[in-house]
Chain A
Amino acid sequence: MSDTSAQPEVHHHGPPQAFIRKYVFSLDHKVIGLQYYGLALVAVFIGMVLSWLFRIHLGWANMAIPGLQLLSPNGAPGGVMTPEYYLSLLTMHGTIMVFFVLTNAPFAGFGNYFLPIQIAAEDMAFPRFNMMSFWTTFVAFLVLMAAFFVHDGPPISGWTAYATLSSVGKAAGPGEALGQDLWIVSIGFFCIGQLLGSLNFIATTLDLRTKGMKLARMPLSTWAWFITACIGLLAFADLLPGAILLLLDRTAGTSFFSPAGLVVGDVVQPHSGGSPLLWQHLFWFFGHPEVYIAIIPAFGIVAHILPAFMRKPMLGGMRVMIGCMTAAAFLSYMVWGHHMFVSGMNPFSAITFSVPTLIITIPFTVATLIFLGSIYGANLRFTSASLFSLGFISVFISGGISGFFLAQPSIDVYVHATYFVVAHFHFVMAVAAIFGIFAGSYFWMPKMVGRMMDETLGKLHFWLTFIGVYCIFMPMHYLGLAGNVRRYAAFTDNYMIPLIPVHKFITIAALLTGAAQLIFLYNLFHTRFWGPIAPENPWEATSLEWSTPSPPPFDNFGGKHPVVYQDPYEYGVEGPQDYVMQTAPGKVTAT
């Protein structure tokens, strides 16, 4: 089955024995992947609780939330949230979710675990850099969490940290003192961690593939991770200098982003000549590719999982899906200005950014149509993993549709900075990408921990979550159409007050849906200790991770070097079983 002479021995290191080396400062990509996943799990829980807190405040503005004064006596005296604390919680929610959940779990988490296995490499190309990348990210997380505990509290400028609110320092308001500095430092560390990660993904994909694993035979999940790593390389390399310049404006008196003549609270600021728009350009040049970093791995994971549960390959094979992901990644660098249509930049640029933004809808539409067309004629099997994958298609459609509106400046002029935008990005990121993470979790948990997850609990988790997310985020579109402005701590404008009941509905839906996630947490915990033992290939799937034990041995394939003969999604073939593993030699007769 595998040819041991296929490649020379590439042992990076022997299996570690000491606890610290094995579980803490591990060089093993599988451990590192699990560490990232674990960090993302902690982060998503914190981010979710933050959203409950500030959403409760939106629905019931004067309510005292018991215990909140313990977290911040200044921010919530007597448990009643102040407007600045609302903004702090909102800022931290966005930052934690975008960076530590959506960039970590689908890309660094699953990618680190499965990319080497899916190409039958023993480990990532640079295990020490890989370890450093996780621990740098971990330090970034700690620095960010520290912002909760400084005197002035976490920053209030949103995850986008627009200058001059973020660049003038303390004078701008509570939260804009040490909290903002810690935020910037955290982001800086995060960039470095991600760059080290991207380095590993790219080098490993290009150079450590096993014999027979041509690029076109890599599974779509590996393709997605590779493309994401390429995007991330340039994106994070742009955010890091931006963050440094912002920190200098705040601490060293420079004027990159702060113009002359600023008078904050009757005090003239010493800056001169800086451009607040410069920050926006630097940020969104990173920021837009970043959201594609969040979605493309989820896309790849779903595209990888669905064939196993449809028992047929994707319509159009590898090329169409790879083409869609590559086109989207490439175009993602040309559209950043669509976040800035009304920012004060030259209105003519709005049109030049709008065109590629609308064009980007094409590869995503084609990919969605391919998903739909692939289901036609399939033998659909329903498991938690496949339900979340099918759900992904639905929520991705819902989220993508609102993109058509936002891409046009003449409509954005009305819905910019309203809940319409909040609806759009939550659907594509908080829902679709999370569905991808859930699908991957249910699909790969048996391989990672060697035990099967409870399917009944998984399916219950799916139904509750699927209904819940629509209840939470669909109404936000209507709020936006009614002109409900975002990042408001309370609604005191005449035309927004009648919308508060909708906010209450959304908050209740959010609390219930959040509670439903406990089912997933419980399932994870229960599986780890008491789940039934998982076979090597419980889903009858074809890719390389299913031709090694659950969980895989230290060097992934137990000393063997698998040779690949088949394309990754040979399902629906004739013969005693309806699939052919990638490692099986011979020619495949498709039906």
Chain B
Amino acid sequence: MNWTWRPSAIALVALIGAVAPGEASAGAISGQVTSAGKPIPGAMVTAFDEAKARRDTAYADADGRFRLDTDISGKISLRARAPYFKDSAKDIVLLSAGDQVIDYDLARETDPAALSDSLTASAHLTALSWANPNTRAAFISQCNYCHQVGNELTRVPRSEATWYETVQRMEGYLAILTNREAQDIAATLAKGFDGKPVAAVQKHAWSDQLAKAKVKEWVVGDELTFVHDTDVGADDRLYGSDEGHDIIWVLDRTTGGIEANREPDINLPEGGVFSGFRLPIGVFSGKHGPHSMAQAKDGKFWITNALSSTLVSFDPATKAFKLYDVGRTHLYPHTVRIDGEGVVWFTIAASNEIGRFDPKTEKMTVIALPHDGFWRGMTDLAFAYVLKVASLFPASGMHLAVSHTKWADQGRDAFSLPYGIDVNPRDGSIWYAKLNVNKIGRIDPETLAIREFDTPMKGPRRPRFDKDGNLWIPAFDDGGLMKFDTRTETFETLKLPLLAPNEYETPYALNVHPKTGDVWITSNMSDRIFRFTPSTKTFVSYPLPMRVTWLRDLVFAKDGGICSSSSNLPAYGIEGGKASFICLYPDGETPAR
């Protein structure tokens, strides 16, 4: 826990009658956040329920005033947080439909160590001095896609030898580095994370948009839960794919109830076809690895099982799963989307393919993508067989011993890695992003003809279409946003707003709001969500209440929520120690039904 509890400030308000914790009806907490009489715009006031399983957050307006309508009742811990100020916590009891006024007078944080600890991972990353820009690029690409590095858990001082062991362990999981990159990263981390406070100056741009926004979070699973993606169902429930435990979590936001639906067993060892990898102990204890999901018009979810090379349908009404084999040489089914005809399309990341599955005929088609050169072609042809041999030695990481990522010094360049995918609403064409070769591609859904385009920024990850047929693409490696006009075949690029000039962001995913056309983007190194308005070309940054918030797919709920899962690996690295479903309501909550 990073926040500072101040027993002297605890105000336990005694109320008449029994108070039952729960989410029956809304109460309200309002007040003002100031420091020495001056308001703190943008300060976050968060209510935690007694079990620390629910969190609601409101933002202070220009006068420091806030109003938090919350369905949490009973004993509540209330915390006010603002950059450069000490957290202030108060315990209260809130009746359902009750109303309380709580003011905060925050003290400036003057202790350099505490101030440093309060900064986002992006600030701590500035302590790393990279001798080689290529190694920095490898670090961003291969170390930041699972987690923030620079958070409280990962910036602990370690010797170079210990860091090297850690980096090697990460390579056993899925990071792809050359030997030189692994050694240089270990040396840089050992030197940079020395335990001394970081004296970064971050500028938080406050927007009056924040005052009407609200964040709600629901803790899910335990310290090792990894909810990779979240989707919102037609029933406005949130569905989360727990890649480590073969579970589909379902959250009813109206009751706060969460249920776990476990996928059926399969004749594969732990880790599935990747059992030769050194899978993170405890986190990856499944065989399927449910990764991404999309709901069809008939209500069924289609889910890519990354580790078992299967596609699975999940019927929320009957809770029934049905598995479809993609083929064990087709490695890591990744992002899935459904076209207007109900056909399921998904990237197959590690073998450079696209899958097409027609639920009506149950016909599976795998489309090989262009090989992108000799070494990547070698990966496309041989990697599945390397994994087969490696699986004879479970959890040994043997694939690294024989891989040309190592002996031919190819590193991540050995993989094309088709990643995100989406359907163009204008013509039904299928578009994908190839992460490691900086390309996007188009597939004609009828002829399956392929065309590819080079992207101007690096690391195109999970793109989404707007209703006009523009493809919006997050540039993970370059901290940017790209727009590709599919009619003129031209790109526009933008850099994401940073808290300080020497920081960087790693946008993993984005989504385009179907009504407003705003593009919502994950930040992931600075615990924020960005809203980009194309008409004015302006960003609004929404700081998020918990440190180490790492988000993946963003989806839009009917009640105005922009929802995702907080899925930093491992979950115990997240402030509070557990994964969560998270929804940002930029205009407050509106009735869902």
Genuine A/B complex: no
